[in-house]
Every structure is written in structure tokens, then in C-alpha cells.
Structure 1
Amino acid sequence: MVIVMKNKKFEDRYDVLKFSFILVFSVIILKLGYMTVIKGEEYYEQAQNKVYKKIPIEAPRGEIRDRYGRLLAGNRASFTVQLSKDEIEKSDPNKIANKVIKILEQNGEKYIDEFPIIIENGKFYYTYDRTINEWKRKNNIPLSYNAEKSFYEIVDRLINDGILNVDKDTDKYELQKLLNEKGYYPPIYVSKWKFAEEVKKEQWLYRYRIKEENISAKDAFKKVRDYYKISEELNDYDARKILLVRDLLKSQGYLQYQPIKLALDVSKETVSEIEEYAMELPGVSIETEPIRYYPNGNFASHILGTIGKISQQNEIDTYIKKKGYSISDMIGKIGIEKKYEEKLHGEKGYKKVEVDAYGRLIRKIDIKNPIAGDTVYLTIDKDLQEVAENSLKNVLKTIQVGGTYKSPWGNVRLRDSKRIYNKAKSGAVVALDVKTGEVLAMASYPDYDPNLFATGITNEDMEKLLPENKNDPLAAKPLYNTATFTAVQPGSIFKMITGLAAIENGLDPNYKINAKGRIMLGNKSFGCWIWNSHRGSHGPTDLYKAIEHSCNYYFYCVSVGYDYGSNKPLPVKMSVEEVLKYAKLFGLDERTGIEIEEIPGKVPNPEAKLKNTRRALEYTLNRKLKNYFEDINDKNKEEYEKRIKEIVNWIDENPSRGTIMKRLKSLKIKEDKISEVADLVKYSYFNQAKWKTGDTFNLSIGQGAHAYTPLQMANYISALVNGGYKNKVSVVDKVESYDKMKVEKTKKEKERIPLKDYNNLEHIKRGMLRVTQTGTAKRTFKNFPIKVGAKTGTAQRSGRIPTKDEAQYLIDHMSSFGVNPSEALELANKYEKQDKSKLSRDYYIRKALFELNPHLTYDQINRFKDTYDDFAWFVSFAPYKDPEIAVVVLIFQGGHGGYAAPIARDIIAEYFGLTKDKNTDDVKEELKLIEELKR
């Protein structure tokens, strides 16, 4: 019985096992059937893709041409040194790397060096750290600030400047979004509170399995050197040359078949030498590729822009992760090159190759030729642009020496009897088609050669393009597009807005105000320029005369609806709100719509001034005073916020600096921080908070809180003279496909400004015509054959010019500050050693000066510095009866608006063909004939 039972159990187990095998095999057969019959084609394609790879071939970048088709940016053939990882690593990679770098250096070639550790005078540095510090210096952020403090430092400044309007509880992600919307991109990951370069460093170290935190650059260098087994016989400098090649190869990961670019645009001599040593340089090859080329050098550089390698995190996210670009691709960085990147980029071709499982090349199979990018046609006229650039440059140089600008249309002496404006080193000019908003010419000076960036700019070349005095915000900046990026006070060229607002509200343009020279408000004098110059006055003045002679007194009166000359109200109601309403109608608080980068203007807001100032002050104090109290910090939330609010509430009273210091002491602000906080709240906030009649006066003549770009001013003038149409500005005419089969024409957009009476614009034009006939620009246009309407403007810049070396300035003048120099320096050294923030040297010297002499003020300290000269504005249109072109010129520290007028005259003359094929004698004969006809 027992035996029978055992056999039965055995049979049952066998059946289970047999069933299991059948089930497993059935599943396998079904799966094979599914894979071969149903999904076979798909899997075959995937397998093929794993075997066959595509090596990209660069496409020629699309051209950029002027409105008539003349080439502004194209391509030229060049030789590129490429490396193939699989072939190099089959041989002796260190030897090959050393050899190819030596050849490049001996022939003076630039090569791609992205190895993130550099050696200077025997010391090792991470390039990541250098990049972070350079960004901090550029943005005036203490080097000791971490990512979080740096981020909020930027936020605080934008709030104080009125650019950001946020509450103290705004989320960090929302703040980052708002910053980006305003065009600011701090290189910071707010999720990790790390600089983007810090993250890059961590990723690079991980690539070599270096896990030590805070490892020094020197130790990391040694580990990587050991990783590649570089001979001890080589010094660190030569070893680094090998490492930059090995690291470049490693950055390709498993894409061994894909060549890497080591050097672009090398000479024929280098090509010959590399080919000569071909047997010793397996994996090193020469390819012919298109390189971006700007045939006219510096011409229109701020419009065209530059190209460069993908480097910033936002570029990596946009182009590599989203759009499938390669890490070695060149992209547009600014200007038209950036705006039309995807159309200019073209479509890469490829070589199809077969590789093995390790990604090594077996054979080449197929080739597809690349497709060139589209051609972008600009609206600018090359001839007119050339005149604009040359005239701007030459006038600036003439102003600097107080010389005479010579022209067939009449020579103009660019100096006054008192002084020479030798700091007039930069400026901008914009010429628009008033009917369409097309940019006919736009130039900023100084400029730069975009060819420097086509293959990667060197540190030496980049240094030459940086301002001489990095502390001076108005220093000449070659890379800066002044026409679209510099918003400053407009001065008298704003007066047409004030005048138009008045006549739109019913003021007769012939109504005369007795302009007595100055208006006294309390003990403060608001003088016309003629009063300030020689105690003169304009007498009875109507709108036309006010524009013609730029009478401040007239516009003071109409801005508030009161005739101070006759001590009676004007027959119309006016206010600052009415003036600003028309400024907004003409788009002065908007971007113009141009395709390249620009900043919007800033129309003052009296209603929001106090509210925004309070909010900005509260936000700043909440961020700044965390550790400024003796007994609490921001962790004591309720008490901390209570004290902050108390300080903010003093804004309505605006107490004296001494009173503020006493109150801060009673609130237990630390002794060494009281002066700093008192100066901050008093001078940056309290004094600026409330709107007064004097603010309206300043605003009415273009002073005060206005800030507009030359491009915005050109569009505003266009709207004044074209019947009230506000154009969307464009610098692009059309985009044409490489095969010319598809053309995208830029749509011209405009809207009519809702004025009460469009005939009022004729009164403004009439006043502007008188400027060139008998007014402030009559000298320049005395013999000009075309009637031009215009307005000169002079905008003031307060403050002193920072020196190149602020610390040395303080040391040089220390004996004048009422302190013992050696004692002050000793105290400054003490402060610097104690402070972990590592702020600039001049900060600690100033702190010591204020400690040793409490009565010392910032004005007293800065009194030995030079002051800023006035800005020169000139706006114009022509011809008078049926305007076609508007020309606006801005010259930094140019002294007088009239000094900018010859530039506009040159451009208008070129636009109307007055100088075509004519020499100076011919022009003089024509002018003589015109004068005879007038008589």
C-alpha cells in the first residue's frame, strides 16, 4: 500500500513539472511569435539603429543681408581639426594629445580648452569658481555671498529700482520667474540654492569618481592626471594640455564614432603639418566646414549680434534638451543671430556609418548633404548705416577735443566758451521710417567686430572689449547696444508730450505765458536754462516759442495748470497725471517690438510712488536686518516684523538723519550698523517717497524719474509726425528659404493713438520746425536744403564718477577727511580681518573713516571725484510737410543737445540722396543756388 501511494505522488509531481515546462515553452513561443510577426519590423529598425549611426555634417548658417540684398553676415570655408575617440584610444592617446597640441601652439592656433582647472604661477584654480566670481564682480555682489544671498541681492536691487514689485512673502520660484520675465537670469538653481557652475563642478568631479567634498583644484588635478596615467616626467603645464584633450574625448561618453572639434579655422600650414604626421596622429583629421563670417567687420555689430558655443544652463535646456542640438554647436547669443537662430541654423547633413557594440567605427555607408539656413533680410540700408556709424564716431571724437565738425552743409564748432566735453566717448543713433516703423539705421558707439566670436573669443580679446573703468556705470561699453539697452532721462525732447497734453486739454497754442526765468517754490528755485546760464528770461512765450527756445518756465506752468508769470490759473485744467497719460499713449512705458533685445521705458508713477517706496523699503529691511539687532534676529518673527514696520512708518515723517540714528539705537540696532541703516532709509527711501509740485516741474521737462531708450524716442517722434500712428518697430524685412521657394514677409503693424484732435500734432510739428529755422539748432541747419523739424535736449546726470580703484582714491585723499591716515588704515585692516563676508577693500576703509570721524558724509568723501557732464539728445524728422524719416541721437556726457545735431543732418542728407556722387564744391554750388532762389 505504501509503495502504491509513493508511485501516485511521483506521478503527480511529474505531471506538475510537465505542465510547467509546457506552460513556459508556450509563453516563449507566443513571445517569439509576437516579436517576429507583430513587432518584428519595429525591432528590426531598432537593431539597425544600434548598428548604423549618423555623424552630423554642419550646415552653412543662413545669411543676413540688408534691405537691398547686400551681404552683412555669411560663411566662408575653413579647416577644422577633429578627433575620433575610438581611433585615438586604440593607440597612445596621451602621446597623440601632446603632439597635436604642440602643432597647434607652434602655428599660433586657438584651440578649444574646456578643461576646468587652470594653472597660474604654480597655483591651481577651478574655472567654475572663476566664472562665479566674475559674475559677482560684474553685478557688484560680495564674493563671499552664497547662491541664496546673491539671488536675493539681485532681487533687492530690482525692487529698489522699481523694476520688481513683490511682497516679502513671495515664493522663491515665483521670484525666479519674475526675474526671467524682466530679462534677468541669475545663474542659480533656486531649488538647490547652488550656482549653476557649482552643479557643473560636481558633475565633472563625479565623472572621474572624485567624491571628496570641497576638494582643492590642485588635488583634483592630481587625481585626474593619475586617472590618465600621465608620465611624471611632464610638468603640470604640459600635462594639462594632454588632459584638456582627454577630457574633451571623455565628454563624448559612449559616442565614440562621433568626431570632436578641437580647433576651428586653422591655417593651411597647420593642415599640412597634421597631414604630414598622419601616421603619428591616428584619429586626428581635418574637415572643411563653414565658419560664420562678417565681411564688414564692426559694421552693424549691435544689430547682427554674435554666435558662440552652448554654455549657459538655460541654453543647454533650450537647445540641447528640447531642440536636439549638439553640445559643440554654435548658436546665436545676441541680436539677429539669436532671435532667428532656428531659421539661420539650417539642417545638418550626416554620414551614415556602421559601428560595433562599443561604438567603434567599422565602415561608412551613406551621406546626406546639409541644407543651408534661411536668409534674413534686414530693413537697414547699408549705405545709410555706414553714414550713421561714421558720423557718430567722428562727432564723438570732435566733441572730445572741442574741435570743429566739418561738412558740406556747414561746419559746426563742438565746444562752448567755458569747456571741452572730453568724456563724450559713447552714444547711439536711430533712424526710422516714420510710416512703417522700419529701422533704416541704428548704431551704437563704441562697437566691436563679431568675427572675434565666430570661433570662440580669447580672454585677451574679451578684456579689450570691457570698459576701462568697470566701476563707472556710464563707461563706454563696446558690447553694449546703447540704442536699445540704455534708458536715461530724455530732458527737453520730452517737452512735446507736455505741450501736446496741454493743447489736447484745450490750451490755445498761441496763449502766452510771461516766462520770467525762474519759479520759487518755498526756498527752492526752478529756473529755466536761460536763467541758470545768465539770469535771462524768455518773456511772453507761446507753445511754438517754448519748443523753439526750449523754455522750461512755460512747461513748468502748463504741467500744473498755473501761469506763475501772471500769478493766475491757466484757462485749462492740467496735472501731472495728464502729462503722464500722453507719455503712455505714445508708448514710452512699453517695448517698441523690435526683434532684437531691448528694455522698456519707465514712465514715472506719482500715485504709486509712496506706496511702492514703502513696500520696497519693507522688503529690503526684512532681507537686510536679519542679524542687525542686538537682541533678536529674524527667527523672532513677530518682534522682528514689528520693528521693521516701525522703521518703515517713519517714511511719512521723514525725520533727520540724526533723529533716525537715535531711534535705531533705541530699537537696538547694532552700533556698527546704525550709520549704514540710517543712510539707507533716509537717502534711498524717505527723501524719495512723496510727490511734490517740484517733481511735476522736473517731470514736465524730461527730468526726474523718466528713463527711455533712443529707439523709444525715435518711435515717439515718428508718432508725433505721422498723424498719430504708433508703429511696431522692426529691423527685419523678410526671411527667405535657402531655395528661395518660401518668403516670410514681416507684417507691418501700427495703431492710431486716441487723441482728441489730430490737428494738434501740427502745432507740435510747427514748433519743432522753428527749432532748426530760428531756434536751438539753427546753426546746424542754416544752409540745409530740406526743411527739418527737430528738438534739442540736455539731460542731467547727478552724482560723482567712481574711480577705477576706489580704495586707492580713499587712501590718496585720506588726510582731507579729518582722520589720521595710519590710524584709519589700521582700523580698516582690523575690520577686514574680522569680517567673513570679504567685501571690497574700499568698504572697510569707508567704515573706518566714518568710525573715526562721525561727522563725515558721503558727499565730503566723494568731493575729489569728477562729475558727470550732461547728456546730449537730438530728435528730428524730415521733410517737414510729409515726414518720411525720424532720426534720434543720444551722446553720453555730450554737453549740449545741439552737439548731436550734425549726426542727424548727415543721415538725413544721405537718406534723400543729397550727397550722392557729389563733392564738396558741388554741394556748395547747390547751396549758393538755393540761397539765390530764396532771395
Structure 2
Amino acid sequence: MVDAIKELLVKIIKSRLTVLFLVMVILAAVLIQHLFSLQVVNGKEYQNNFTLQIEKTRTISGTRGDIYDRNGKLLASNELSYSVTVEDNGTYNTTYEKNQSLNQEFDTLIDMIESNGDEIVKDFPIVMDGNGNYKFTVEGSSLQRFRADVYGRKKTSDLKFNKDLDYDEAKASAQQIVDYLCARNKYDVRLEDTQKDYEKYQESESQTSTEAVYYDKTRRFEIMTLRYALAQNAYQKYVATPIATDVSNETVAMVKENADQLQGAEILEDTKRVYYEPEYYSHIIGYTGKVSEEEYETLHAEDESYETTDIVGRSGIEKAMESQLKGTKGKETVYVDNLGKVQKIKDSTDSAPGNDVYLSIDADLQKAVYNLLEQQLAGILYSKIRDVKSTTVKASSDVIVPIYDVYKALISNSVIDSSLFEKADDSSVQKQVYDTFQSKKKQVIPQIETQLKNSDTPYEDLSDDMQSYVKYIVSWLQETKVFDADKVDSSDTVYQNWRNESISIREYLEHAISEKWIDITAFNINDKYADSEEVYNALVSYISEELSADAEFDKLVYESLIMGDSISGRQLCVILYEQGVLDPEKDSDYDSVKSGSMSAYSFLRKKIKNLDITPAQLALNPCTGSCVITNPKTGELLACVSYPGYDNNKLANVMDSDYYNKLYTDGSHPLYNNATQQTTAPGSTYKMVTAAAALTEGIITPSTEIQTKGQFDKIHPSPKCWIYPSNHGSINISEAIRDSCNYFFYDLGYRLSLSGDTYNEKKGVDILSQYAKDFGLGEKTGLEIDEAKASVSDEYPVTTAIGQSNNNFTTVQLARYVSAVANSGTVYNMTLLSKVTDSDGKVLETYSPTVKNTMDNVAASSWDAIHYGMKMVADTHSQFDDLTVQVAGKTGTAQQANTPNHALFVGYAPYDDPEIAIATRIACGYTSSNTADFAAKVIQYYFNPEDKDELLSGTAANVDASSNSVND
């Protein structure tokens, strides 16, 4: 027995299996020992090593420099803020998995952000209106660049007809782009009603473990915009994409608390650009924003530190002084964990702030002039409103504003947001109005279809409502490029008949299709539409479908209801309170207008009078204006005002596309700088140019008198003086300036054109053109911000002599001109800048106007005659009577078809020792007495600041509505 056991043991020991077993035991013991060491003894150290294994370098932006006025008043600076960012640093097995993960994460983040009253970034070049329609917020080259980015084309010229999508990428609509980006082969953001297709897609991808997520239309759009922003940085791993900026502490806490579930999401400490009292200075300062591709290419070529995510100056001084304002970047090397969260900072290099920029303008003067201008515009508008439905007045100086135009403006210029009506409470007036609208629209669309398909009624014979609908349709087709207006042959007979309103819309559009002016691929045409009739029917169906969801077309329907009294003025007034435009708790008029004891007419006039509703909001003429003030002794620019302004805080940092789109479609054009970009004829403010030319060329002397007539009959057709059929008698040059006698200046233009006894238009034009240029007119002034290139007249010297023909100047050019008149011939190159300092206040560079030229050829006696004539102009205007300084000036009106006259004034004060020169223009301001009245208030404010409380009353100026004579 013992021997048998020994023999068995020997066999076991000698067995290969035993050896293998022992080896396995030893290996297992070693493995267990290593596992114990890794997980227990050194577990914490190895865990730290694992989580810190990803190293990356982050750029730290330098703080942007501040902007001040000439007196050190802060206009733009930076404030601490927090941003929610996401980095595309996840690892995914399939595209489907990536889309599901990112879409769900963005859905969660949007919920967090919006639950605390914060908003996601809205800088996508498409917005969705209240009716769920998509619209571009950019146009031209910017729009084409966006399309190229969407479709992955390096250059805009690479955009092509996409066979898979069945449309031309270069003409892609906003809807088509949204659908493309939301498609399953892009970001896969689906709507609820596509669940079946979605499930099929899941099966085809063999994805059964991930639950699909569905979104409503608004959330779908939000997620898609964030996915697009993230994709713009896809080629740069670990580049943070902001999805919400300047968020609240609640959002910060919520994101941090859920950080372990949010791949790549992080809260970053940041700075935001802040503008103080922005509407007064927005056109000068501009705003910052994320660098565009074109801007990046230009800036990066000059400075390689620029990155595609940088915030740069996009307009105004912010753009012009970008190199000074931008800070110097720093860097830091950090370790992040597998979720992209920073665990440790390895090393860092500090950033440095940018330089500070001081402007030449006086901020207090700028603000006061802006408010005075708004009061003047409100006063003119108030004086012109009448309790009538429409007007047939043709004379521009006698145009009135029917109260029904005010009612319509509340809707058309979005003072009232009609897209909110549908969601209003059932008991609200908004809901009542919406129900009325819905009923009307159900009738209108079929009526339009009938008009398009079956009617041969010429446009001129249509009802007013149908004319507005048809006009809108043609305009809309052209704006969306379905109708290519560039292909239209202006000599085409059918086109001419359409212009003459003698044919129907059906005939015009059918002809447009036959001439290939209309792109039939834009409205889902396919092989079944074989002939022209079927193509036209497809176009009609497309128009009907698009109009049904078009918010701008809806406004026309609302206007029709207003004009038909189906929607009352009282209802609109109550809605102003329901939507918070006016505060019912602070306004005693609420109960009165709601009950009907105060008429809508009286109510709205009162609100305009008190500036509770501003000219800018209504966008009725007049609603815009400009004023530029300089120091004629030094050429310094003291104020450069454009009304209306806008809130550049909403465009800075990350642009609010909704707000930008509202500005872009606003009828008062707040983005447009009226001081530097609007050009009109100068009218009689030009007459000092003609006077200087005539006196210097020896055509007349200061004492020469001309016997004037009412009509200048030396040329044909024979222009008339404003006083016709009367005349100004025998007067000299100073008296002609005082009386603004057109006949006198017609004669000067004629005499300057004489070669012997021969009338030579070119000679006269050349002389007047040269003197205009000597005064700095027709050339840019040198300002650092965008400025329109104006034009000096090159035809008709007789009418050029009174500032008509094709003379067109900006207000800032007129300011430089009148400054040269005030100082007797020194023309300055202008600047908006005063100095640049570093962050410690050390002056690095100073700026001042430079002399462009001096008009030494004009004799002192000639200047005296011109100055005295301008003094007499001011003496004839009672607005200047009570001022503590004597004023010299010149009024002017510029005529434009189908609008009230533009009103202008240029002048300076004091007369004997000018300290300021002023140029102002009120577009559609009716009469120059309105600008003279405004200029008088500005001069009073400047020389008597103690009167500011009286002047800046916050109510509309008192304007004499009967003062309509054009006597300049």
C-alpha cells in the first residue's frame, strides 16, 4: 500500500501535467501579487497617473483694451463672466454613436442653461421665426461663404449642383441647409414624426442598445446650431467651443455638479465685452465677435497668434484699432482626464492686456445731441399725424401721416410681435386678433391662387389688398433668387408692361418662366411637369405653400385687417401692454384706452409725444437723422451722431442672431450710420461753394448786385427760384445767401460757364467741382470707420450751383466743409482718435487732425461776405434769437421722389470767433426750419449747459406743423 502510494506520487511528480500545474500556480501567484500591488498598494498613484495622462496646451486670451472718450469717460471695457464650453474629445465606435451621444448631451445642456434663464449661443447665420420658418441673417459674399462651409467647399466658386440633394448648393435655401445638417448622414437630429425612419436607420446600423432621442422643431434647431459650431473646430482636438456665454451662477453650479456625465463640457472663466449706454456710441465704437474665415486669413497673415476661435473687432473703432486693443496671449499646459476635465496645471505664461484707446468725441455732448435729435424727430412726426385712414396729398412738404399708418407700423416694424399671438392666453386681446387673422388668411391664400392661376386682371385694376400681395410675391421671389432679376431684359415688352402695371401677375410670371428668369429647380419640379402649364402650376403651388408659413406675408394680412377695421387701433394699443412694450402698472392710460374712453389716436399721439414710443420703433418718416460737430480751429471731431442707434452688447462677443435679424429688417435701419454713410444732395448748404468760386474767379465782387427774377430763362428748361412767381429784387452775394435766392446762384453757375459769350457747361462744372473738392467735399474725410464715397456733380452747372444735379455728400463731409468755411479755408483730415495708452496709462501714440489743404486763393473780403451772409441767415430764423452767442448758418433741402424733403443745416458759433461747426440732416424732415430748430438747441446746450434739463425734457420738441415752405 505504501509502495503503491509512493509509486503514484513519483508518477505525479514526473508527470508533465504536474509541472504545468505548478507553473500555472506560480504564475497565478505572481499575477495576484501584481494585481494586489496595482489595486491596493499603489492603486491611488496609478489612478492619478491614468487620469493625468492627457496633456494639452491651452491659449489664454489677453484682456481687450478699454475705450474712452476725450475726457476719460469709459465707453467700452470688459467684465468677468462664465461660459459653458464643449470640447469634441470623446471616443466613439460609430458615427451613429457619436451623433446620439452629442445630441443627447446638448439636449441636457440646453435644458440646464435655459432652466436658469440663460441662453445658448445664437451666432448661427440662420434664425427661426415664430412661425417655424428659417431665414438667413447674412447676404452676399458672407452668405456664399457660409454655404461653402456647410457643404465642405474650400471656395465659394466650388459650390455646385448636388445630384444627391437635387439642388444647387450656391442657391440653397435656409430650410434646405437646416434639413441637410439635421440629416442622418450629418448630425442626425430628428423630429418626432420621423420615428419610423429613425428606427429603420437604427436597424441598418445594427444599433439596438442605444435609445433614440426625438426633438421638437425648436430644440432640433438649437442642437443643430451647436453641433455646427462644434464641427467648425473639429480639426482641432481639445479646442473649446462656447455654447453659452455670460451664464448665471446657477448654470455654473448645475454644469459642474453634473460634470462627470457631460463629455468635454466645462465652465470657463472668461471676459465679456461691455458697452455703456450703447445706443449713443454704437456706430462709432462698433462691436466684437468671433473672427470670420476671411477676417482670420487677413489677420493671421499679419499676426500668426490669431486663431479661428478668437474674438476680434468686427466694426467701428473696435475693428479699426484691433491691433492696439487686442491683448497679448498667454499659454498654459494642463493635464486632463478622460472626460476632458482639467486636473492639473503643469506650467503657464501670463497674458497681457491690450492698449486703451481714447476717442476725440465728447461723450456727454454725443449723448445730448442724440437725445435732442430724437426729440426733434418725435416732434415732427407728432405734428404730422392726422386722424384719417389715408391721404392723397402729393406735395412733399404737405405730406401727413395717417393714424392708420401708425397702427400698421406697430405690426410691420415689430413693435408688436405678431408671432406671439398664437401662444397668448385665450382671454387676451392678442388671441382675439390672432383668431381674426387666421380666419382672414384662410380666405386670402385661395384668393391669391385664383389670381395667379385664372385671372388676367391687370395689376393696376386689382384691389389695394391684392396689389400689396402680388407686389410682395414678386419681391419675395426675387429676394429668394427663385426669380433672378439680373437675367431680366429691361427692354422686354412684357417686362415694360408689368412696370406700367398694364398686365396681370399670371402673364408676367408665365413669361418669366419662358424666358428662364425663374429657376424652376427651386420649387421641387420633377419629370412629371413636362410642359409650361404644369411648370407654372408647380410655381403657384410653391408660392401658396411658402406664403402659408411666411411671417412677413402675415404682416400684410394684418395690415389689410387694420385698414378694413377688423382689427382696431384700440386692440393694438392694449396689446402694447400685454406684450410689455408699455407697463400697465406704471401707466395711467391703460384703463382709459382699454375701456375706450381714450381713443387710439389720442393715446398713440400722447405716447409719441412722451417718447414712450419712439420714431425709431415706428420707422415712419421721419425716423432717422445725423449730426456732426467739429472744432473749426483744430479740426477735432467732438460728436458724430447717427439716430437710431442699437445695443452693440447684443452683437458683441457671440452675436445674438435673433437680435441682428431684427435690426437688419427694422425699417429705421439702425445698423446704418447716417452720419458717415447716408448721402443726399446738399441743397442750399452748397451755396457757399458757389459763392467762393464766383468771388475768387472774379465773376462778381462782394458788392456786385444782380437783378433777380422768379425764373432763370437763360437756359431751357428754365429753373425757378423758390419764391417764384415773385423775386428777391436786386441783391448782392451776402443777401443772396441770406435769402437763399436760387436765381442769383443759377446766374453765378451760368456766368462761371461762359467762355466769352458762349455757354460751356463743362467749364462751369469743372470750376464748381474744383472748389467743392478744395472744401473737402466729394472725398472721404479720413475717419477710421466706414464712410461712403460721395460724389461731386459733373453735370448741369446752373443747378449744381444751388446744390442739386448729382451732388451727393455725407453729413460728416458737410461738417468738414462748414468747418473750413468757419475758419476761412483750412480743410482738415478728420480723425475719431485722440490717443492710445498702455494699461498703466502711459501714452504710446497721439492723434490729431492734419491739414489737408488751405484755400489761400480765396480773399479775406470774400470770406467776410460769405460769413456775413450766413449770419444774416441765422438772424432770419427766430430759433437763434435767444441764444447767448451769435450764429452763422445755412439751411438746405434735398428733394427725393415720393418722400418728404430731406432737411439740412450747416453753421458755426460764435460768429466772430467760431468754437464749433455743426452739420445736421434729418432724412424726410420736410423743411429746413426743423433742422435749424434742432441746431439751435444743440448750440444752446453747448454754450449754456445749465439749460440741459430744460432742453433734454424727454418729450417731443414743439414743431410748427404749418412751417412747410421751402425757402432755401
- Deviations 1:739-759, CA, capped at 9 Å, x for gaps: 223421014310442442430
User: 8 Å contact 2:266–2:341 — kept in the other structure?
Assistant: no
Question: Alpha-carbon deviation of 1:232?
Answer: 3.4
The more displaced of 737-746 and 252-261 is 252-261
C-alpha distance in structure 2 between counterparts of 1:417 and 1:870, whole Å: 7
Please state how far the C-alpha of 1:768 moved relative to its aligned partner.
Answer: 0.5
Contact 1:495–1:702 under 8 Å retained in 2 = yes
C-alpha contact (below 8 Å) 2:263/2:340 kept by paired residues: no
Paired residue type of 1:758 = A
The residue that corresponds to 2:111 in the other structure is 102
SS at match of 1:489: coil
Does the CA contact (< 8 Å) of 1:560 and 1:574 recur in 2? no
**Residue number in structure 1 paired with 2:430:** none
Q: Distance in 1 between matches of 2:399 and 2:234?
A: 65
Whether 1:111 and 2:157 are equivalent positions in the alignment is no
Provide the C-alpha distance between the structure 1 equivalents of 2:115 and 2:126, rounded to a whole number of angstroms.
Answer: 23
What letter corresponds to residue 540 of structure 1 in structure 2?
A: S
The answer to whether the 8 Å contact 2:636/2:848 transfers is no
Residue 224 of structure 1, aligned match among 178, 182, 186: 186
Other-structure match for 2:151 = 202
Q: Do 1:256 and 1:360's aligned partners in 2 also have CA atoms closer than 8 Å?
A: no
Q: Deviations over 1:873-918 (max 9, x none)?
A: 0001011112121011101111111210132222222322453688
Residue number among 647, 655, 671 corresponding to 1:479 in the alignment: 671
1:513 and 2:706 are equivalent in the alignment: yes
In 1, the alpha carbon distance for the partners of 2:397 and 2:683 equals 22
Name the CA distance, whole Å, in 1 between partners of 2:359 and 2:717: 51
1:876 and 2:869 are equivalent in the alignment: no
Aligned mate of 2:783, from 574, 578, 594: 594
Partner of residue 551 from structure 1, selected from 717, 736, 741 = 741
Among candidates 208, 228, 232, match of residue 251 of structure 1? 232
2:742 partner amino acid: N
- Relative to structure 1, the CA distance from residue 250 to residue 463 in structure 2 (aligned partners, 3 Å threshold; closer, same or farther) is closer
Cα deviation for residue 113 of structure 1 reads 5.5
* Matching residue of 1:388: 369
1:294 aligns to 2:275 (yes or no): yes
- What is the rounded CA distance, in whole Å, between the counterparts of 2:853 and 2:106 in structure 1? 65
Evaluate the alpha carbon distance shift between residue 910 and residue 233 of structure 1 in structure 2; reply closer, same or farther with a 3 A threshold: closer
Equivalences for 1:288-687 in 2 at 5 Å? 288-311=269-292, 313-320=293-300, 322-323=302-303, 324-353=305-334, 363-402=344-383, 420=400, 423-468=621-666, 476-506=668-698, 507-520=700-713, 524-531=717-724, 535-561=725-751, 575-606=764-795
Structure 1 pair 580–282 and aligned structure 2 pair: CA distance change class (3 A):
closer
State, as a whole percentage, how many aligned pairs show the same letter: 31
Secondary structure of 1:298 counterpart: helix
CA shift digits 1:648-673 (9 cap, x unpaired): xxxxxxxxxxxxxxxxxxxxxxxxxx
- State the match for 1:280 in structure 2: 261
Give the TM-score normalised by the residue count of structure 1: 0.61
Relative to structure 1, the CA distance from residue 101 to residue 869 in structure 2 (aligned partners, 3 Å threshold; closer, same or farther) is same
Which whole-Å CA distance do the structure 2 matches of 1:545 and 1:116 have between them?
57
Shift of 1:448: 0.7
Partner residue in 2 for 1:701: 802
Q: Choose the corresponding residue for 1:784, options 846, 858, 883.
A: 883
Q: Is contact 2:712–2:747 with CA below 8 Å preserved after alignment?
A: no
Structure 1 residue matching 2:151: 3-state secondary structure? helix
CA contact (8 A) 2:332 2:349 kept: yes
Correspondence 1:793 to 2:864:
no
2:831 counterpart SS class? coil
Please give the alpha-carbon distance, in whole angstroms, between the structure 1 residues aligned to 2:634 and 2:936. Answer: 21
SS in 2 for 1:402: helix
- Name the CA distance, whole Å, in 2 between partners of 1:709 and 1:896: 18
**1:493 aligns to what SS in structure 2?**
helix
Deviation at 1:53, TM superposition (A): 4.3
Q: How does 1:839-854 map to 2 (within 5 A)?
A: none
Secondary structure of the structure 2 residue equivalent to 1:99:
helix
| Cα separation, 2, equivalents of 1:88 and 1:104 | 25
- AA aligned to 1:500 is A
Kept in 2, the 8 Å contact 1:292–1:454? The answer is: yes
Q: Which moved more, 1:229-238 or 1:269-278?
A: 229-238
* Cα distance in 2 between the residues matched to 1:521 and 1:505: 21
The question of whether the paired residues in 2 share the 8 Å contact of 1:265 and 1:455 is answered with no
- Cα distance, 1:233 vs structure 2: 4.2
CA deviation vs aligned residue, 1:235-277 (integer Å, no higher than 9, x gap): 4745665555455444333533332221111122222222332
Alignment deviations for residues 256-310 of structure 1 (CA, whole Å, 9 cap, x no partner): 3332221111122222222332333353221221101112131211111122222
- Say if 1:888 and 1:464 are closer, same or farther in 2 by CA, change over 3 A: same
Match of 2:831 in 1: 730
Is 736-745 or 595-604 further displaced after alignment?
736-745
Q: Distance in 2 between matches of 1:505 and 1:871?
A: 31
Report the Cα offset of residue 870 of structure 1.
0.8
Note the 1:718-867 alignment, pairs <5 A. 718-759=819-860, 760-773=862-875, 775=876, 778-798=877-897, 867=898
How far apart, in 1, do the equivalents of 2:831 and 2:924 lie? 29
Match of 1:63 among 33, 43, 66: 66
Q: Structure 1 counterpart of 2:113, which letter?
A: L
Provide the TM-score with structure 2 as the length reference: 0.59
Counterpart position of 2:26: none
Aligned equivalents of 1:259 and 1:715: distance in 2? 48
Cα separation, partners in 2 of 1:400 and 1:245, compared to 1, 3 Å: closer
Q: CA deviation at 1:212?
A: 6.4
CA distance in 1, matches of 2:384, 2:704: 41
Alpha-carbon contact 1:548-1:768 (below 8 Å) kept: yes
Q: Distance in 1 between matches of 2:67 and 2:733?
A: 46
What's the offset of the Cα at 1:737? 1.1
- Distance in 2 of aligned mates of 1:254 and 1:118: 26
Provide the rounded CA distance (Å) in 1 between the counterparts of 2:104 and 2:951. Answer: 66
Kept after mapping to 2: 8 A contact 1:561/1:569:
no
Structure 1 residues 698 and 205, CA, compared in 2 at 3 Å: closer, same or farther? Answer: closer
Listed one character per residue, the Cα deviations across residues 62-91 of structure 1 (whole Å, up to 9, x for unaligned) are 111111101111111111112233368799
Q: Which residue of 1 aligns with 2:49?
A: none
Three-state SS of the structure 2 residue aligned to 1:605 is: coil
**Gaps in structure 2 of 5+ consecutive residues:** 1-52, 156-160, 167-175, 189-200, 386-394, 402-619, 953-968
Deviation at 1:51, TM superposition (A): 9.1
Cα offset, 1:731, TM superposition: 1.1
Q: Structure 2: which amino acid aligns with 1:781? A: F
- The aligned residue for residue 82 of structure 1 is 85
CA contact (8 A) 1:467 1:478 kept: no
Contact 1:560/1:576, CA 8 A, preserved across alignment: no
User: 1:517 is matched by which residue type in structure 2?
Assistant: G
Q: Distance in 2 between matches of 1:595 and 1:122?
A: 41
Residues 320 and 920 (structure 1 numbering): CA distance in 2 closer, same or farther, change over 3 Å?
closer
